[in-house]
Amino acid sequence: MDLGIAGRKAIVCASSRGLGKACARARAEAGCEVVINGRDAKKLEAAAAEIASLTGAKVTAVAADVGTPEGQKTLLAACPAPDILVNNNSGPPMRDFRELTRPQMIDGVIANMIVAIELIQKVIDPMSQRKFGRIVNITSGSVKMPLAGLDLSSGARAGLTAFLAGVARTVAGNNVTINNILPGAFDTDRLRGVLGKTAEQKGVSVEEAAKARKAIIPARRFGDPAEFGAACAFLCSAQAGYITGQNLLIDGGTFNGAF
């Protein structure tokens, strides 16, 4: 399918690896000019070169911490008028909520809620004026099905979801959409870190922890980041203009509910 976004400019945050990188590649495959972002310049440049080589697209690497005003300014200087924004950020590590300090909680809310809102504040009016905008926030399946130990991540991302639900309706008439994708267990560094922590807590091997996790997924496997990238690309397509304020759960059927 032609997604109708060739030539559009896209920013994909936290995209040197994992789900962010998969989303960046999917935009590039659709013909977008893509700005990728991360804090590790070496990994970021390697990712940009790989995506450009595979797709032939223009890919710009911006090494910056978008959790800071300076980092956001640097990112938007590289792409002042994005048509597409994919918000993404790693979550805090697994930790018993009793161990969380106030600074840690504040940092978690900033990283997984406030930063996305700040970036949206900066791009949403120009998108509305141009009558095209696609904003996708990568949150987590734990927004719908919380996991003990990831409480800070779940809470901050749920806050982002609620905050933007009303905002999405205010710009829909300008062909600007805001949606969220809620990943379940995808084969990423983040998942491997969680499995390592689980294995340590239960006194089992990482392989055993992975096997147990797969057993509760109806698809009986972990997700492929490329699958996630393709779904995200569709939400950014010209054809997805009638989808807004929604939460797309991609978890292999793990969440056992009809709604």
Condensed to tens digits (0 to 9), the pLDDT of residues 60-108 reads 999 999 999 999 999 999 999 999 999 999 888 888 999 999 999 999 9
pTM here is 0.94
247: which strand partners? Answer: 180
Reported as a pLDDT band with limits 50, 70 and 90, residue 168 is very high
- Domain hosting 69: range is 9-185+223-250
- Asked if 51 contacts 76 with a C-beta cutoff of 8 angstroms, the reply is no
**Number of domains making up the chain:** 2
- Asked if 67 contacts 111 with a C-beta cutoff of 8 angstroms, the reply is yes
Within-domain flag for 255: no
pLDDT tens figures, 2-28: 999 999 999 999 999 999 999 999 999
Residues 98 and 147 in one domain: yes
Residues 23 and 128 in one domain: yes
* Cα dihedral across residues 94, 96, 101, 106: positive or negative: positive
Residues 157 and 210 in one domain: no
Burial class (CB in 10 A: 0-12, 13-18, 19+), 165: middle
Residues 159 and 205 in one domain: no
Residues 49 and 160 in one domain: yes
User: In this structure, how many other beta carbons lie within 10 angstroms of the beta carbon of residue 151?
Assistant: 19
Residues 102 and 153 in one domain: yes
DSSP 3-state percent helix, strand, coil across the chain (nearest 5): 50, 15, 35
- 145: helix, strand or coil: coil
Residues 37 and 126 in one domain: yes
Distance CA 108, CA 105 (A): 5
| Residue-level pLDDT at 38 | 96
Q: What is the CATH number of the domain that holds 97?
A: 3.40.50.720
Within-domain flag for 174: yes
Residues 42 and 159 in one domain: yes
Beta-sheet pairing, 247-250 with 9-12: unpaired
Within-domain flag for 259: no
Average pLDDT estimate for 140-149 = 90
Residues 98 and 200 in one domain: no
Residues 193 and 146 in one domain: no
Residues 19 and 141 in one domain: yes
